[in-house]
Structure formats: structure tokens, C-alpha cells
Amino acid sequence: KWTIAGFATLLLAYVGSRFVLEVILGRA
């Protein structure tokens, strides 16, 4: 249970960081 929760959090953080990078690079 905790492993799945941790993996989901890590995946969400990864996708979020990628999205932020895309927005920053897109506006740069």
C-alpha cells in the first residue's frame, strides 16, 4: 500500500515538474 502511494506521488511529482518545464521553456 505504502509502496504504491509513494510511487504514485513520485510519478505525480515527475509529471508536474515536466509540465512546469514545458511551460517555462514555452514562454522563454
Per-residue pLDDT of the chain (28 residues; tens, 9 = 90+): 789 999 999 999 999 999 999 999 998 7
For residue 3, the model assigns a pLDDT of 95
Spell out the domain ranges in the chain: 1-28
Rounded to an integer, what distance in angstroms lies between the CA atom of residue 21 and that of residue 8?
20
The x, y and z cell numbers of residue 24, run together, are 517555462
DSSP the chain: -HHHHHHHHHHHHHHHHHHHHHHHHHH-
The x, y and z cell numbers of residue 8, run together, are 504514485
